[in-house]
Amino acid sequence: MDGVTVINHPLVQHKLTIMRKKETSTAGFRRLLREISTLLCYEVTRDLELAMERIETPLVEIEAPLLEGKKLVFASILRAGNGLLEGMLDLVPSARVAHIGVYRDHETLEAIEYYFKAPEDVSNRLIIVVDPMLATGNSSIASIEKLKERGARNIRFLCLLAAPEGIRNFQAAHPDVPIYTASIDSHLNEQGYIVPGLGDAGDRMYGTK
């Protein structure tokens, strides 16, 4: 599917299957989420630009590659996005972090922002927006609208599972934002759950069911 990268590394797929199992405990789910988010982060940053810098090893001077440009921003869509943050920060500890809380008003369909905290200068940074589930796409679409209003131009979206309906809505709203996911599942059910899915990601990671 155009604009969507499915990360089908065997370790990702193995961990995802265990996360889907209904008998996986909260502690297990959280540990797997941290592990899998490190692997997903590795893939979503695979093409970052490098610049050569002159360094000294204990033996000689060489030109060696380092990440170029400003620090990345990981933008977590509250609350389940936070489950992806820790593993990503294990891999990129210098990344800046944004938190975004939005909901869609049922009557006006307007995206209502109830929380937004991001670094000042989002316009010159790569922003990786994270939310485990791309279901209807409403919250990710609204969150990215808010980031764009503040000047963000270079955005990627990373999730664990995506529904085809959510991908369609998302791409209609933000055709410039590539999607990275570990799986495209079958469909959304009437309650807005991804099928086969893994249930409510926030409840499973925080034990709040």
138 is in an annotated binding site: yes
Task: Rank residues 20 and 125 by Cβ distance to ligand URA and give the closer one.
Answer: 20
- 200 is a contact residue toward ligand URA (CB under 6 A): yes
- The residues near 38 (Cβ < 8 Å, ≥ 6 apart) are 87, 88, 90, 91
Q: Are 202 and 133 in contact (CB under 8 A)?
A: no
Task: Rank residues 124 and 189 by Cβ distance to ligand URA and give the closer one.
Answer: 189
104 is in an annotated binding site: yes
For tokens 């008003």, name the residue: 105
Beta bridge partners of 65: 52
Residues from 18 through 57 that contact ligand URA (CB under 6 A): none
Residues from 76 through 115 that contact ligand URA (CB under 6 A): 80
For tokens 């893994």, name the residue: 198
Catalytic (active site) residue 108: yes
Catalytic (active site) residue 17: no
CB neighbours of residue 147 within 10 Å: 23
Q: How far is the CB of 18 from ligand URA (least distance, A)?
A: 17
State the Rg of the chain over Cα. Answer: 18
CA–CA separation, 10 and 75 (whole Å): 26
Contact region with ligand URA (CB under 6 A), list: 30-38, 48-56, 168-176, 187-195: 187-195
- 144 is a contact residue toward ligand URA (CB under 6 A): no
Contact region with ligand URA (CB under 6 A), list: 5-13, 27-35, 89-97, 200-208: 200-208
Contact region with ligand URA (CB under 6 A), list: 3-11, 70-78, 107-115, 190-198: 190-198
CA–CA separation, 142 and 184 (whole Å): 21
- 201 is a contact residue toward ligand URA (CB under 6 A): yes
Among the listed residues 31, 150, 156, 200, the single catalytic one is: 200
For tokens 């069911």, name the residue: 209
CA–CA separation, 48 and 175 (whole Å): 20
In the complex, the residues that contact ligand URA under the rule CB under 6 A are 80, 133, 135, 192-194, 197, 200-202
Q: Which residues are catalytic?
A: 104, 108, 200, 203
